[in-house]
Amino acid sequence: MYIRQAQVDDVQVLGEIHALTWKHAYKGIVPDSVLDQTTAEKRQLYFKKALTEKWEEDYLIFYREQPAGLICIGKCRDQDMSSDVGEIWGIYILPAFQGKGVGTYSIKWALEELKSRGYTKVTLWVLEENLHARRFYEYKGFQYKGMFKEIQLGKTLIELRYEKEM
């Protein structure tokens, strides 16, 4: 397994990974009408803009030389957090590669990368109803400490902020 920084040339695979994993992870949580609008083509446009304008750090995750997922990391975007807090903005592992250690490898990589940048804590946001992801993050040492927010994705959903000290 390895991880490398995504380039503009990678937008097709990034879009495909994001759309497929979103539909898989959020089925039964996010309304089908929203999931149906989450297409690889729309996500490709998003990633092209993000990578061209350099406002997001996206990385491709490979398993046996095949793209297996993507992870986005950087400075914590939450205004109530100090400048020494990093964030895993998103992690998306294709269903075919789940249960093979790809998520564990990716989280470990992200924590090491953020620590090397001087961050002393890492946060991430997860949908309250996404019990599978919550269990995974808790197993990796992340804790929910009471911060949440409402978001709109075809209906009102709750996102929980998880934190981990380095």
Per residue in 14-68, pLDDT (tens digit) is 999 999 999 999 999 999 999 999 999 999 999 999 999 998 999 999 999 999 9
Q: CA 6, CA 71: separation in Å to the nearest integer?
A: 10
Instruction: Give the pLDDT band of residue 146 (cuts 50, 70, 90).
Output: very high
* Other Cβ atoms within 10 Å of 97 Cβ, number: 21
Domains of the chain with bracketed CATH: 2-124 (3.40.630.30)
Average pLDDT for the chain: 97
Q: Round to whole Å and give the CA distance between 28 and 150.
A: 18
pTM for the complete prediction?
Answer: 0.95
Cβ atoms of residues 122 and 155 within 8 Å = no
Give the per-residue pLDDT at 133.
97
**Could you identify the residue written with the tokens 């992200």?**
110
The strand pair at 2-5 and 57-63 is best described as antiparallel
> How far is residue 111's CA from residue 33's CA, in Å, rounded to a whole number?
35
Given this model, what pLDDT does residue 60 score? 99
